[in-house]
Amino acid sequence: MTPPRRAPRDAEPLVSVRTDLGRVREVNEDSVLARYPVYLVADGMGGHSRGDVASRTTIEVIDAAIPAGRPTAAAAIVEAVHAANAAVHALGAETVSGTTLTGMAVSVSAEGEKHWTIVNVGDSRVYSWSGRTLTQLTVDHSVVQELIEAGELSPLEADRHPERNTITRAIGPFEEVEVDVWLLPYVDGQSFLICSDGLTKELPLERMEHIFAAHTGDDGGSLADAVVEAALASGGRDNVSAIVVETGGGDDATRVGTGTRERPRQLEDTLPRGIG
């Protein structure tokens, strides 16, 4: 786990990270990037197809593309995701299969206003914490999600569906990738969870909410540990990774659990053509 960093108001968010092999897998195919201004989880696919290489390559390319220590432009983070896709694709399908990618970056508009740029490819997820509920901000790219949206499957049925692990979008398999992008205002007192599906497939939403509520007021570092430990205790059948991000503002005792339930707005015409 990366120890949480305590930051002054209006500075870098407080961040905690945990990634774990799990109880069953022999290789951790998850990779994480958690340094200002970008926080990402990549969940590699494929076992023998070296999902660990795909996820690690994705994170390394984005890490190199986004300067540390200052907010980035929304277009820059999306361009970095496309560059990562090109790098993984260049490795060849016979070597690696691909990876999911989800997370967020602190961005700044042309007017100087800070916001979150949220990106997603695959079925890893970003949630916001309102103090009472976790709201999923990303949309899964999966067969079961398409069936749910078509009204052919309920969320409960999706958990038992034989294609519940089949995703419809990933970094690497194709020369081009479609990236979901949203903008969310950056304000004090926000809390977010970024995680791989090794967490969400072990823990129902209500259980994750209970853990967040139980740790309100704790040092933020305990939250990433707590949710990952709970997933391991529930079986740990996959690699599991979690990043908890909290923006400054408010007392330490109240910071966790004062986030927003506001859904982000999706970027459509905001970015230059060909990006996103």
pTM as predicted: 0.84
> Per-residue pLDDT for the chain (276 aa), expressed as one digit of tens each?
444 444 334 579 999 999 999 999 999 999 999 999 999 999 999 755 689 999 999 999 999 999 999 999 999 999 999 999 999 999 987 777 899 999 999 999 888 899 999 999 999 999 999 999 999 999 998 756 555 555 555 565 556 644 556 689 999 999 999 999 999 999 999 999 999 999 999 999 999 999 999 986 665 458 999 999 999 999 999 999 999 999 975 433 333 333 333 445 555 433 432 333
- Diameter of the chain by CA atoms? 52
The answer to whether 107 and 72 have CB atoms below 8 angstroms apart is yes
Query: Helix, strand, coil: what percent of the chain each, to 5?
Result: 30, 25, 45
Angle of helix 205-214 relative to helix 221-233, nearest 10 degrees, comes to 140
